């Protein structure tokens, strides 16, 4: 399990209660809470995202589902604190969907949320959590590639380079039966 550390400011529980009871939140606030809902319910949405017809298509999340998520705020907060990015890291299509639909050009930003008619500091904090979570999952997706590249480098013959008047020159690891690095003179 790769839990997301609680690196986010406390969320205003009262504000979330009010958002839960509203029938229509500002678009930016609604999108932010939809994103949180999808992150918290990956198992329910992966297949739906895979079936979207185009890259620009959006998955519709019923506001009532978001309201249900906010129904038990203590459990909600605990789920955020213990969120396992492993599932998202193993669903790259979902991570790309989040990036394309929510974070790319014109996407959700702290400024957009703070400039809504009903300023939502809690949604800004939740957006920060979402973006960090997606970034951590994206980084985790890169680990196997980096590991493979490191293994490939380790398998290559070791060489060292030195800059000379004629440019950079490569030397094998072993010169005159001794390690090339040990034969270097420090001037």
pLDDT on residue 48:
92
pLDDT on residue 3:
53
Q: What percentage of the chain carries pLDDT values higher than 90?
A: 12
Nearest to 94 by CA among 163, 27, 26, 48: 48
DSSP secondary structure letter of residue 3: B
Model confidence at 69: pLDDT above 80: yes
Nearest to 37 by CA among 54, 51, 20: 20
pLDDT on residue 77:
85
pLDDT on residue 38:
93
pLDDT on residue 180:
47
Q: What percentage of the chain carries pLDDT values higher than 70?
A: 82
pLDDT tens figures, 25-57: 788 888 889 999 999 999 999 999 989 988 778
- Separation CA 6–CA 59 (nearest Å): 28
Taking residues 147-155, what's their average pLDDT? 82
Where do the domains of the chain lie? 13-152, 157-183
pLDDT on residue 6:
47
pLDDT tens figures, 85-112: 888 888 888 988 888 888 877 777 777 7
Kindly tell me the burial class for residue 16, based on how many C-beta atoms sit within 10 Å of its own C-beta (0-12, 13-18, 19 or more). buried
pTM score above 0.85: no
Taking residues 170-182, what's their average pLDDT? 57
pLDDT band at 139 (very low <50, low <70, confident <90, very high): confident
**Mean pLDDT, all residues of the chain:** 80
């Amino acid at each position: 399990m790769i839990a997301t550390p609680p690196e986010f400011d406390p969320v205003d529980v009262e504000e979330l209660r009010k958002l839960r009871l509203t029938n229509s939140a500002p678009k930016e606030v609604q999108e932010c809470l939809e994103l949180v809902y999808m992150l918290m319910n990956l198992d329910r949405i992966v297949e739906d995202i895979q079936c979207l017809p185009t890259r620009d298509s959006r998955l519709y999340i019923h506001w009532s589902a978001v309201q249900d998520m906010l129904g038990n705020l203590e459990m909600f907060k605990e789920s955020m604190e213990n969120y396992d990015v492993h599932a998202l890291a193993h669903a790259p299509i979902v991570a790309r969907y989040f990036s394309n639909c929510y974070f790319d050009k014109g996407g959700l930003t702290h400024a957009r949320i703070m400039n809504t008619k009903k300023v939502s500091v809690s949604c800004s904090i939740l957006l920060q959590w979402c973006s960090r979570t997606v970034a951590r999952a994206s980084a985790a997706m890169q680990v196997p590639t980096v590991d493979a590249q490191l293994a490939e480098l380790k398998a290559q013959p070791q060489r060292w380079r030195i800059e000379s008047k004629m440019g950079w020159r490569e030397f094998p690891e072993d010169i005159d039966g001794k390690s090339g690095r040990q034969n270097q003179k420090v001037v």
